[in-house]
Amino acid sequence: MRVQDKSIIVTGAGGGIGEGIAKRLAAEGAKVIVNDINTIAGEKVVADIVACGGTASFFAADVSKSDQVQALVAAAVQRYGRLDVMVNNAGWTHRNRPALEVSEDEFDRCYAINVKSIYLATVHATPVFRAQGGGSFINIASTAGVRPRPGLTWYNGSKGAVIITSKSLAAELGPDNIRVNCLNPVFNPDTGLAAEFAGGPLTEERKTKFRATIPLGRFSSALDVANAALYLASDEAAFISGVCIEVDGARCV
Ligand SMILES: NC(=O)c1ccc[n+]([C@@H]2O[C@H](COP(=O)([O-])OP(=O)(O)OC[C@H]3O[C@@H](n4cnc5c(N)ncnc54)[C@H](O)[C@@H]3O)[C@@H](O)[C@H]2O)c1
């Protein structure tokens, strides 16, 4: 068991990549707080984990609201005695379209869920990590944050912010034995955001065009990202901080 008894929060774990991360970590012995704004979906993920013999519980919270993130962190400590890892996965994008057509409300929502959430997780979890003598943040960024394409400009920018913020925090919090790392997944067609990224229904033509830009010849899966998260959450990564692991099949353009 690679993360035996570690207390781990996974935000946005009611579906998609977060669900995959929560299940993989639980299968390796973690006690997982499944967070989401969607209670039905989150409870279902918890039930699946428990049915497989794992330990998990649900906590509803909006990652863009300070009081709710504070309560989420407190719940992990109250339920599992400590907090070892916080996986900031919850994310949102405006639909793929020209930058000038994205509304101010969509921009604000994108930055609230993708970037302010990192600020709030840092503010509320860092004191717990410091008191314990260490901890680890894993922030789900995106290939979009390093190799942007047209149509997702504000989303791309938000993920660029996640990446550089994570590197800065790694430098700042390292002396407290707090590690901060990122994962950059490439497109995953089996998630809730897929049609938004694609700018419409995922036709075979769209998929084929996109897949052709990934040298390993397929899209990412939640398991691909979860396996990388498992490594970063484990003690195997004790000296790894400030890195951004590309989970993108070598996407080059
Ligand atoms: N799917 C992809 O192709 C892809 C690629 C690169 C990066 N990512 C990133 O991976 C992460 C997960 O995305 P996904 O594709 O699995 O999306 P998804 O929509 O399938 O899952 C996101 C989950 O987050 C929850 N959520 C949304 N807003 C929330 C909030 N304010 N507070 C708490 N939970 C909230 C949703 O209810 C949902 O269950 C995101 O950060 C996304 O930007 C996704």
- Copy the structure tokens of residue 39: 């209670």
8 Å CB contact between 16 and 222: yes
* Structure-token pair, residue 55: 């330990």
The answer, yes or no, to whether any atom of ligand 1 lies below 6 A from the CB of 193, is yes
d(CA 134, CA 62): 25
Q: How far does CA 221 lie from the centroid of its chain?
A: 14
Q: How far apart are CA 208 and CA 210, in angstroms?
A: 5
The domains of the chain, with CATH numbers, are 7-239 (3.40.50.720)
Cα–Cα nearest to 25, from 159, 138, 167: 138
Burial degree of 34 (CB within 10 A; 0-12, 13-18, 19+)? buried
- Identify each DSSP E strand in 112-241 by its residue range: 135-140, 178-185
Q: Whose CA is nearest to atom 25 of ligand 1?
A: 12
Listed residue (157, 184, 146) closest to 93, CA to CA: 157
Reading the chain (253 residues) residue by residue, the pLDDT tens digits are 999 999 999 999 999 999 999 999 999 999 999 999 999 999 999 999 999 999 999 999 999 999 999 999 999 999 999 999 999 999 999 999 999 999 999 999 999 999 999 999 999 999 999 999 999 999 999 999 999 999 999 999 999 999 999 999 999 999 999 999 999 999 999 999 999 999 988 899 989 989 999 999 999 999 999 999 999 999 999 999 999 999 999 998 7
The rounded Å distance from CA 90 to ligand 1 centre is 4
Q: Which atom of ligand 1 is nearest to the CA of 14?
A: 39
Taking the CA of residue 65 as reference, the ligand 1 atom at the shortest distance is 31
List the Cα angle 27/193/243 in 5-degree steps. Answer: 60
For the CA of 144, the nearest atom of ligand 1: 6
- Is 231 designated active site? no
The end-to-end CA distance of the chain, in Å, is 37
Q: What is the pLDDT of residue 189?
A: 94
1 CA distance to ligand 1 middle (Å): 27
